[in-house]
């Protein structure tokens, strides 16, 4: 049996990444965990985020995963480096805000990034801005409350729209022509974001690039599934499994099963 790939996020956002991986690497066996009981990670301390990410990684490894995709910008920003140190034999693929393609695209010289508070304040954001944002102005906008609304299923209601307008319209006034979605929940409201930003702004999110990167990593480490084998996607959530239905349908993944993952009193995670 081919090894599994573990994928996790604070909730439903990483399902975008799982869908892109499913598309790009259809032979791979994917195991997804959404920590909906603890969403939003973006409003939590680094210590909490690292604790959850470590326990989730241990549970996914316990289910036969040999590589891990941190399909959450917030968790990647806090936990990617410490997890690589703690599990040196495990290849990790993490997210970083896609400032590089935005800087390559911009003609106005002004790009925007929407992300959680923890990501905006974290080291990974400072790093990508320093590496790729030298000749452009990068407007970083924290979006408190947005991931939680999306996780709760409000993808186009008036409150979600009002929040987005309050953040995006001022950036458009400042001349952005590229807008990076620096949180994996935000592509689920991409139509609304595009509508508010208008036709002059390209919206950029990295799910396909992450799937390609994972393919390279698996090939380098000799962990790719055997050619022609049939891949799969199974999901666990620490919240209500039924909450995944709408988003799985939206991503054309409605046949995927979703089971309950349970946090234990000792801080470990049980994926039965």
Task: List, by residue number, the catalytic residues.
Answer: 72, 183
Q: Least distance in Å: CB of 95 to ligand DGL?
A: 6
In angstroms, the CA 52 to CA 59 distance is: 11
Question: Encoding tokens for residue 209?
Answer: 């690039």
- Of 160 and 184, which has the nearer Cβ to ligand DGL? 184
- Of 11 and 239, which has the nearer Cβ to ligand DGL? 11
Q: Least distance in Å: CB of 192 to ligand DGL?
A: 17
Place of tokens 């400072």: 126
Nearest to 251 by CA among 30, 8, 13: 13
Q: Least distance in Å: CB of 184 to ligand DGL?
A: 4
- Of 38 and 66, which has the nearer Cβ to ligand DGL? 38
Nearest to 141 by CA among 197, 181, 96, 101: 181
Q: Which residues pair with 269 in a beta bridge?
A: 263
Q: Least distance in Å: CB of 64 to ligand DGL?
A: 25
In angstroms, the CA 253 to CA 247 distance is: 8
Q: Which residues bind ligand DGL (CB under 6 A)?
A: 9-11, 13, 39-42, 72-74, 116, 119, 147, 183-185
Helices (DSSP H) in 133-252: which residue ranges?
146-151, 158-173, 190-197, 207-221, 245-250
- Of 9 and 28, which has the nearer Cβ to ligand DGL? 9
**CB distance 267 to 51 below 8 Å:** yes
Helices (H) and strands (E) in the chain, counts: 11, 11
**CB distance 95 to 125 below 8 Å:** no
- Of 22 and 185, which has the nearer Cβ to ligand DGL? 185
Q: Least distance in Å: CB of 73 to ligand DGL?
A: 4
31: number of Cβ within 10 Å: 22
Nearest to 32 by CA among 3, 9, 51, 54: 9
């Amino acid at each position: 049996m081919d090894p599994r790939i573990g994928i996790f996020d604070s909730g439903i956002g990483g399902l975008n990444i799982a869908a892109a991986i499913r598309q790009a690497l259809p032979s791979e066996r994917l195991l997804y965990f959404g920590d909906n009981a603890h969403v939003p990670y973006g409003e939590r301390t680094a210590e909490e985020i690292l604790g959850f990410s470590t326990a989730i990684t241990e549970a996914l490894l316990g289910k036969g995963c040999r590589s891990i995709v941190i399909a959450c910008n917030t968790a990647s920003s806090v936990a990617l480096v410490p997890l690589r140190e703690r599990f040196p034999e495990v290849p990790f693929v993490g997210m970083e805000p896609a400032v590089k393609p935005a800087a390559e695209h911009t003609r106005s010289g002004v790009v925007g990034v929407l992300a959680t508070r923890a990501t905006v304040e974290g080291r990974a954001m400072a790093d990508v801005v320093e590496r790729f944002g030298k000749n452009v102005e990068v407007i970083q906008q924290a979006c408190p409350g947005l991931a939680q609304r999306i996780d709760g299923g409000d993808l186009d209601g008036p409150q979600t729209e009002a929040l987005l307008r309050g953040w995006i319209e001022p950036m458009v006034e400042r001349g952005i022509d590229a807008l990076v979605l620096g949180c994996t929940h935000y592509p689920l409201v991409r139509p609304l974001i595009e509508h508010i930003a208008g036709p002059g702004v390209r919206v950029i999110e990295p799910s396909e690039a992450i799937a390609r990167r994972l393919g390279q990593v698996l090939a380098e480490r000799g962990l790719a599934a055997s050619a022609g084998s049939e891949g799969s996607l199974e999901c666990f959530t620490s919240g209500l499994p039924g909450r995944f239905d709408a988003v799985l349908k939206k991503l054309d993944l409605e046949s995927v099963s979703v089971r309950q993952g349970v946090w234990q009193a000792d801080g470990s995670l049980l994926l039965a």
